[in-house]
Every structure is written in C-alpha cells, then in structure tokens.
Amino acid sequence: MSSMNNKLQDKLQDKLQDKFKITLILLLSNLRLPIVMMKLDRPIILIVDDLKANRLALVRLLRHVEADLIEAEDGQEALAKAISLPNLSLILLDVQMPVMDGYETAELLREEPQTLNIPIIFITAVHRDEQHILKGYSSGAIDYITKPIQPEILTAKISLFMVLWRLKNGLELEVKARIDLEEKNLYLAYHDLLTGLPNRRQLVIDIEKAAFRADRQGSEFALLFVDLDGFKAVNDSLGHKIGDQVLKTIAERFEYLVRKTDTVARYGGDEFIILLTDVNNAQHLTGRINEVLLSAHKPMKFQHEEIQLSASIGVCVYPDQIDNPDKLIDFADIAMYKAKSQGRNSFCFFSEEMDAAAHKRQQVEQQLRLAIQKQEMEVYFQPIVEVKTADVYGAEALLRWNNKELGMIPPDYFIPIAEANGSIHDIGAWVLDSAITQLEEIRSQFKQVPKLKLVVAINASTLQFKNADLYHQVKDKIDSGIIKAEDLEIEITESLLLEDSEEINRHLKSMSDLGIHLSVDDFGTGYSALSYLKRCPINTVKIDRSFVSGVPDDKEDMVLIRAIIAMAHGLGLKVIAEGIETKAQWQYLQQEGCDYAQGYYFSRPLPYNDFKKWLSDKLDSEKAPK
C-alpha cells in the first residue's frame, strides 16, 4: 500500500513539475527573454500544524533551505497569513487539525486569487490510505507526504520548488519591467515630455477620429493653431528654465479650457494646437477662441518676474472650410501667420486666398535661395538731395529682384522672406558689395566735378546686426580704401533700436567708430523713444513717407513732421524726408528746415546706367547758365 502510494505520489509530482517546467520554457521562448534574475526577494514557506513539536521539527529540517519559514497553528491563521505574504512560495499543511482540517484549508486557499497558485504539500502521520491521498490531491495539493518523513527527500523536493519559484518570480518581474517600459515608451511616443500634452503623432490620430465623427454626425470641429507671441524673448532673456515653466503654465491653462472630447496638443516649441469639437455655431466658436486668447494673455509670475505673453491663433473649420483632414494643420498654420502679421493677440480664420498666398510664398522662398547665383538681383539707386541747395547728397541703394518665373518681386515682399529663411545674410552682403562698387565707379567717372557729395545709403536688416559679419564687411571696404567711411550710410530700422540689446548696441558703436553714418529708417512708424536716439550713435533720422504724404492736407502729419525735425535737431541729428512726390511737399520741407529729401519728385529709384545719366543731366543743368 505504501509503495503504491509512493508511486502515485511520484507520478503526480513528476507530472506537475514537468508541467510547470514546460510552462516556464514556453514562456521564455515565446518572449525571447534572457533568464535574468532580477533583484529577487526571498521566498517564504508557511508551515501549518496544530502541534508545536511538529512545526519545530519541520523548521529544523528545513533550516538549510533558501527560504524564510513562517508558522501557523491552525487553518484560519494559515489562511490569514497566506493572503498577506507576498513572497509565499510553498505551504506545508498538516492534514489533521482541529476545527478546520488540512483539506478544507487547502480548498479555501484555492478559492482566493492571491493564494490560488501557491503549491501545497500535505504532511500526515495518520491518513495514509489511497482515498485520503487522492482527496489531498483533489483539494489542490501537489504532494502528499506521509510520516515518517525522509529528510533528504523532503529537503530536495522543497529546494527544487524554491528554485522554480525563483525562476518564476524573476521572470514575472522581468515581464513586468518590460511591460512598464513598453507602456512608458508608448506614452512618450504620443506625448510631449515637458507638458505631458499629446504630441503631433497623437494629434494626427485625434484629428482623424474627430473627422470621422464629424462625417458621421454631420457636425463640425475647429482646429486652432496657437503660437505664443514673444516667447522667444522670454526664453532668451530669462533662460530656458523659466521658458519651460511658461510653456507648462500655458499648457495647463489651455487644458483647463477645453472639454473632454477636445484635444490640446503641443505642436512644437511655443506652438500648441487645440482641437475643438462640436462647434456648429460661429458665435460660440469665436467665444471659445477669445477664451484661449485671454488665458494666454493672463500674466504669470516666476521668481519675482512677471511675464505677460499673448497668442496669435489661426483657425480652420472642418469640413466647412477644408474637407481634407490632412491639410487642416497646414491651413491653420497659414491663418496663424496672417493673425500674427495683423498684430498679435488676435485670431484669423483660414481663407482660400491665404492658401494661394502661402503657395506663392513657398515658390518665392525656393527661388530666393538661388537668386544671387542666377544673377537675378540688381541694385537701383534713388537720389537724395540736400534741401538747402538742391544739390545731390547721395543715393539710397534699393534692391530689385526679377525672377524668370515669378517676374518682378517687390523688396517689401521678399525681404521678410529672406529674413525668415536666413538668406538675408548673403543678400545683404551682396547688396553692400554691389552698391559700394557701383557708386564708387560713378564717383570716379565724375571726379572732375568739384566737391561732389555722393553718399551711398544701404538698408540693413536687423538680422545683419545679430552677428559681426556686416561690421567686418564694412570695415574691409574702408580698410582696403574702396570707400571712405564718410561716404557710407547704413539705414537701420526702429525695431533694431527697440531691441536695445547689449550685443546690438556694441555693433552699432563699433560701426559708428569706423566713421560711417547711421540713420534710422521709417522714423515715426515704430515707437522710437527719444532715449534710444540719445543712447545710440545715430546721425540721421529718415521721416517716413506716410507723414510726408499727408502734406499739405493733413495738419496732424505736418505738425508731426515739424516736431520730428525740431527734436532731431535738438539732439544734433540730421533729417531726411522720404517719399516727396509734389512741389508742395518739397516746399513745406524746405520751410521746416529739413536737411535732405528723397522721393519721386526728384527721381524714382534707377538702375545703374539710368542713375548715372540722371546725375550727369543734373550736373549739366546746374552748369548751364540760368
């Protein structure tokens, strides 16, 4: 009987162990995981017996097994402990116990999810018959050991279980770590790290979903391309840490504004995209866009710095304006640029004309990169005359671009594009070189004319002051004797002065130290405070054409011209008036004591040869007896 018992036991045990091993191997091969043991906790064995002597005997027997041993003196205590021990790897269970016997205890253990899979070994001195042994196995045991126990066999079996437990536990930890990592990677793939908002990838998915829903329900949704105004300045002046805080704050504010079905995504640096669902009412949509504008404009405070930004928003409505979800972002982006150019803190709806304009801009941008190389650029000269004497003072170099495909493109249009794509540096250098060379050629041709003044005025973009290239170029021309410093004037914009950065002021100072003249172009259109003019080494201001065109009808313009001239003279600066088209304007400027004048009244900007002819005719007419 006992040998039969043993055989049955062995068979069942082998089967169970094999099954366990096979499961493990399958798991490993499926996952292709290296069997790396992660930091393993120590397994726990629970010894359940109502007799203390029996428990002690087992503890002693198992003292060399790599596990912590914990005791319980009845079924109830065993259940309570089994549930609370996370590393429980094996239960040694006495069959015969008062109140709740081993079988009942095992059945209850099998009912709890936490203890369902913990192996149980029954130990008994009494119930050795086949019926009891089978009962033991059917109540969930993996082994049924009858006393007297053979210590080597029991410790060997238990040690094997511990090895298997470790293996399984390690594997589970590894799998969990992998799942965690995958979840994290998945999160990162679809979210922005800084703000935690959905990123572009997630946004594209959300747009597709929203389009699908809108198509099905016959509803509309709006896409808002939100670009922060002035964020770059915050980043540059207060550092990236504060910049990051600003972005986080804005992200939180935007998220607070939207509904569950909406999306706020971070699209790039300081660009956010907000997808507003169910916006069938234009008035309601406008209200919500205004809320976004307001929330971006609310001041924020970091480290005693109060920061107030604003946003420019481009809006595109699906499917009302565009029924292609792939183009929504691009079109909202185009509308955003329009909003920005209209003067920040505003929004703009996309329109078909904007698309055409954006397309043209793209073409211009492509062609612009090759314009110099293809010799499509030309410098025109517009004379500047001295008001008192009507003598020539010099000429402003004005760039012209004639492209085979696009035709004549005005500088007002392509210069900002050149600034945006960086080609302004090459273009600016080319203008300086060409204008100086050509004007010096003209000067040498008229060297017989005594005291001919021929200053060349060249427009410089703000960007050309961001590095020292322009300074070195100018210095080169002067050092190599190509032009005298006093014959060169650089026209800068009011916005350059407004930036008031140390770097820019240094460049201005070193240019001025070379002896060239600096003039402020389009004066009066920006916000030039007098203090800038006092602080910077400026020689001349150019009164903007928009004031001159008001003469003689607009009294306010005339008062302003008078004030600018008086103020400039008070600061020791000369004044050039631009855009003189009529005799009345010319006379008014003479009367107000303006120093120099420029405009169609004298001549339009002319190509090299025409300018030379204009100059020659003028000099001839002055020589001719009156």
Q: Footprint of ligand C2E on this chain (CB under 6 A)?
A: 382, 398-399, 410-412, 415, 431, 459-461, 521-522, 545, 578-581, 598-600, 605
Shortest gap between Cβ of 399 and ligand C2E (angstroms)?
Answer: 4
Quick one: what does residue 411 bind among Ca ion, ligand C2E, none, with the CB cut-off 5 to 8 Å set by partner type?
ligand C2E
Quick one: what does residue 605 bind among Ca ion, ligand C2E, none, with the CB cut-off 5 to 8 Å set by partner type?
ligand C2E
Shortest gap between Cβ of 339 and Ca ion (angstroms)?
Answer: 26
Phi, psi dihedral angles at 444 (to 5 degrees): -70, -30
Rounded distance, CA 34 to CA 437, Å? 73
Determine if 491 is a binding residue for Ca ion (CB under 5 A).
yes
Quick one: what does residue 198 bind among ligand C2E, Ca ion, none, with the CB cut-off 5 to 8 Å set by partner type?
none
Rounded distance, CA 217 to CA 211, Å? 10
Quick one: what does residue 91 bind among ligand C2E, Ca ion, none, with the CB cut-off 5 to 8 Å set by partner type?
none
Q: Which of residues 328 and 399 has its CB atom nearest to ligand C2E in the complex?
A: 399
Q: Which one of 184-192, 356-364, 435-443, 490-498 is the stretch in contact with Ca ion (CB under 5 A)?
A: 490-498
For the four alpha carbons of 346, 349, 350 and 351, in that order, the dihedral sign comes to: negative
Quick one: what does residue 494 bind among ligand C2E, Ca ion, none, with the CB cut-off 5 to 8 Å set by partner type?
none
Q: Which of residues 351 and 546 has its CB atom nearest to Ca ion in the complex?
A: 546
Q: What is the full DSSP assignment across 369-387?
A: TTTTTTT-EEEEEEEEEET
Rounded distance, CA 103 to CA 34, Å? 39
Smallest CA-to-CA distance from 195 within 247, 149, 157 is with 247
Q: Which one of 42-50, 385-393, 401-409, 577-585 is the stretch in contact with Ca ion (CB under 5 A)?
A: 577-585
Shortest gap between Cβ of 578 and Ca ion (angstroms)?
Answer: 5
> Please, which residues have CB within 8 angstroms of residue 336's CB and are 6 or more apart in sequence?
225, 226, 227, 312, 313, 314, 348
Determine if 494 is a binding residue for Ca ion (CB under 5 A).
no
Shortest gap between Cβ of 549 and Ca ion (angstroms)?
Answer: 12
Quick one: what does residue 95 bind among ligand C2E, Ca ion, none, with the CB cut-off 5 to 8 Å set by partner type?
none
> Please, which residues have CB within 8 angstroms of residue 317's CB and are 6 or more apart in sequence?
220, 221, 222, 223, 279, 285, 349, 350
Type of residue found at 35: I
Shortest gap between Cβ of 431 and ligand C2E (angstroms)?
Answer: 4
Q: Which of residues 367 and 434 has its CB atom nearest to ligand C2E in the complex?
A: 434
Q: How many CB atoms lie within 10 A of CB 233?
A: 13
Q: What is the full DSSP assignment across 398-434?
A: EEEEEETTTEEE-HHHHHHHHHHHSTHHHHHHHHHHH
Shortest gap between Cβ of 451 and ligand C2E (angstroms)?
Answer: 26
Is the preceding omega at residue 552 within 30 degrees of 0, hence cis?
Answer: yes
Shortest gap between Cβ of 411 and ligand C2E (angstroms)?
Answer: 3
Shortest gap between Cβ of 581 and ligand C2E (angstroms)?
Answer: 4
Q: Which one of 158-166, 177-185, 366-374, 452-460 is the stretch in contact with Ca ion (CB under 5 A)?
A: 452-460
Q: Please, is 507 exposed, middle or buried when counting C-beta atoms within 10 Å of its C-beta (0-12, 13-18, 19+)?
A: buried
Helical segments of 95-149, H only: 102-111, 130-138
Quick one: what does residue 110 bind among ligand C2E, Ca ion, none, with the CB cut-off 5 to 8 Å set by partner type?
none
Q: Which of residues 119 and 383 has its CB atom nearest to ligand C2E in the complex?
A: 383
Q: Which of residues 93 and 424 has its CB atom nearest to ligand C2E in the complex?
A: 424
Element (DSSP H or E) covering residue 24: helix 2-31
Q: How many CB atoms lie within 10 A of CB 578?
A: 22
Rounded distance, CA 163 to CA 158, Å? 9
Smallest CA-to-CA distance from 492 within 440, 527, 457 is with 457
Is the preceding omega at residue 319 within 30 degrees of 0, hence cis?
Answer: yes
Smallest CA-to-CA distance from 251 within 289, 288, 291, 295 is with 295
Element (DSSP H or E) covering residue 310: strand 310-318
Q: Which of residues 318 and 547 has its CB atom nearest to Ca ion in the complex?
A: 547
Quick one: what does residue 279 bind among ligand C2E, Ca ion, none, with the CB cut-off 5 to 8 Å set by partner type?
none
Shortest gap between Cβ of 605 and ligand C2E (angstroms)?
Answer: 5
Q: What angle do CA 616, 620, 626 make, to 5 degrees?
A: 155
Shortest gap between Cβ of 531 and Ca ion (angstroms)?
Answer: 22
Q: Which of residues 67 and 551 has its CB atom nearest to ligand C2E in the complex?
A: 551
> Please, which residues have CB within 8 angstroms of residue 270's CB and are 6 or more apart in sequence?
227, 228, 231, 232, 247
Q: Which of residues 46 and 397 has its CB atom nearest to ligand C2E in the complex?
A: 397
Type of residue found at 580: I
SS3 of residue 22 by DSSP = helix
Shortest gap between Cβ of 380 and Ca ion (angstroms)?
Answer: 12
Is the preceding omega at residue 383 within 30 degrees of 0, hence cis?
Answer: no
Residue with tokens 């920005």: 340
Q: Which of residues 228 and 385 has its CB atom nearest to ligand C2E in the complex?
A: 385
Q: Which of residues 252 and 378 has its CB atom nearest to ligand C2E in the complex?
A: 378
Binding mask 516-535 for Ca ion (x = CB under 5 A): -----xx-------------
Q: Which of residues 199 and 519 has its CB atom nearest to Ca ion in the complex?
A: 519
Type of residue found at 556: E
Beta strands 305-307; 300-302: pairing state: antiparallel
Shortest gap between Cβ of 378 and ligand C2E (angstroms)?
Answer: 11
Shortest gap between Cβ of 540 and Ca ion (angstroms)?
Answer: 11
Quick one: what does residue 579 bind among Ca ion, ligand C2E, none, with the CB cut-off 5 to 8 Å set by partner type?
ligand C2E
Number of residues that bind Ca ion (CB under 5 A): 5
Determine if 459 is a binding residue for Ca ion (CB under 5 A).
yes
Q: Which of residues 192 and 521 has its CB atom nearest to ligand C2E in the complex?
A: 521
Quick one: what does residue 382 bind among ligand C2E, Ca ion, none, with the CB cut-off 5 to 8 Å set by partner type?
ligand C2E
> Please, which residues have CB within 8 angstroms of residue 129's CB and are 6 or more apart in sequence?
1
Q: Which of residues 293 and 460 has its CB atom nearest to ligand C2E in the complex?
A: 460
Q: Which residues of the chain form contacts with Ca ion (CB under 5 A)?
A: 459, 491, 521-522, 578
